[in-house]
Structure 1
Amino acid sequence: MNAVDVVLPCLDEAAALPWVLARIPEGYRAIVVDNGSTDGSPEIAAELGATVVTEPRRGFGAACHAGLEAATAPIVCFCDCDASLDPRLLPTVADPVADGRADLVLGRRRPTSAGAWPVHARLGNLVLSRMIRRRTGVGLHDLGPMRAARRIALLDLGITDRRSGYPLEMVVKAADTGWRVGEIDVPYLPRTGRSKVTGTWKGTWHAVRDMRAVLR
């Protein structure tokens, strides 16, 4: 059995997949969850050795949860599939969970260039981070998409959101359950292709709306 499974939600990421999958650490298994791609992403992922899961229900949370349910390793990581985050850094978020120092670790994104993180997406993240701190008391600065926790514990949280609110509900329920939640700085690179969630003002607004609903 692999020590860690890596859930990679995927929607039309054919251009990024070769780089992403080539950088999955040894002992980690890539689970690419296809969420309706039309560019051959699932075929490319399978050819490159990833486990491919198909999730017909559209939504970031739906893809994440399908990957979590398909995982079998004791620890599960989540990571964007657009080459904005380097999978070689996954041990930095997984190791504190594996050795018992934390229950949930998020990668705090540190942009490597001005274009890596659009202003509207950064502002949306700032608003949500403040809301999280007020709601949970957890001192997070970023709702980072690179994260790690134990698989069974994640399933036991009973996360119900299947849209953009999924990563926030994970943090809120973890905090409410008494988990030790931490964050570690990770470089944030310009993504390959256009973001489906925060690439536009409209996408960012929808994500913030979904997450505010979770907080309510």
Structure 2
Amino acid sequence: MLTLPPLTLDKAIAVMDMGLRTVFSPAVASRPYPAAEVAGESVLSDSERKHAAALMRINHVGEVCAQALYSGQALVSRDPANVEALKQASREEVDHLAWCEQRITELGGRKSLLNPLWYGASFGLGLTAGLLGDKWNLGFLAETEHQVSAHLNSHLQELPQADNASRAIVAQMKTDEEQHANTAERLGGGALPPPVKLAMRLASKVMTRTAYHL
């Protein structure tokens, strides 16, 4: 039987605080903004700017989901090393949140209207993965990061050619995601069954297509 480890008041408050800050508060990065190294702002047409903003909104939603997943997974993980790995990944994903949000603003776009929904659903998935045990918890993390990395690679191809600022952000995010996947596998993450991987990809498609518009 799957059981939850003891949930202390401190843990409950921390989980609620994480959710509220992720969804409603501006994220603050601890690392430099990757786009700051890009010389000058590229000139984009209105349609290119709108498209780039929508892609960065999708990426921002992905980071909202990541925060929720890690929070849910860490809450029920019993191995301190795994909890620390999840927390470290979460800290780096906060940078991604801040970078995506800043770029969305620069492009004249907005964040997803459905962020509370994305967070809640992802938190539930994180809890479920964590309850299956640390092997599958880490395996879920690794597979998530592999799929996110592939998704970011597609955005590197899809962003307007002149949008070097967004491309610099996405490239750094992709590097970080690959490192998170490697860490999860090194700590013993198991390979997920093909049907689970397929279900994750299908859910991701629903999210990305919806977030592009909403």
Q: Please, what TM-score do these two structures have when normalized by structure 1?
A: 0.31
Bigger helix share: 2
Bigger strand share: 1
Structure of higher RCO (CA pairs closer than 8 Å, 6+ residues apart): 2
> Considering only CA atoms, is the larger Rg found in Structure 1 or Structure 2?
2
